[in-house]
């Protein structure tokens, strides 16, 4: 996972351990969900939290399709940059209109 992410309620070591436990022991259970529930019960987070960690690890590891954590971080950065550029462009347009009107007034006098 990317270091740029906001730290969650659980430490990264716990997330990594939970994912590793699910992936290493899922063959001992009837389904991956049963393994997730078992690991969640042992470590403390909810099963849904562990499921999300496992899905993210599977995507980042290439075992499941979807955007990786790095892709999502890059997309977020680009969206933020795009919004900033749009704001700057709006400011420049407003300033241009203001100064254009000011020049028109000065040339008419």
Q: How far apart are CA 42 and CA 81, in angstroms?
A: 42
User: pLDDT-derived band of residue 103, with 50, 70 and 90 as boundaries?
Assistant: confident
Three-class DSSP category at 17: helix
CA–CA dist 102, 84 (Å, integer): 27
Q: What is the pTM of this model?
A: 0.68
How far is residue 2's CA from residue 23's CA, in Å, rounded to a whole number? 21
Mean pLDDT over each residue of the chain, to the nearest integer: 90
CATH class, domain 8-66, is mainly alpha
Question: Above 80 in pLDDT, residue 23?
Answer: yes
User: Can you tell me the distance from the alpha carbon of 54 to that of 58, in angstroms, rounded to the nearest whole number?
Assistant: 6
So where are the chain's domains?
Answer: 8-66, 69-109
- Tell me: the pLDDT tens digits for 39-73? 999 999 999 999 999 999 999 999 999 999 999 99
């Amino acid at each position: 996972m990317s270091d740029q992410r906001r730290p969650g309620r659980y430490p990264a070591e716990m997330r990594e351990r939970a994912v590793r436990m699910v992936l290493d022991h899922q063959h001992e259970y009837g389904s991956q969900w049963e393994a997730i529930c078992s690991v969640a019960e042992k470590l403390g987070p909810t099963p849904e939290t562990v499921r999300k960690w496992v899905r993210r690890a599977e995507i980042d590891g290439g075992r499941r399709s979807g955007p990786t954590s790095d892709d999502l971080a890059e997309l977020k950065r680009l969206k933020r940059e795009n919004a900033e550029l749009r704001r700057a462009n709006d400011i420049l347009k407003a300033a241009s209109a203001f100064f254009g009107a000011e020049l028109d007034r000065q040339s008419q006098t």
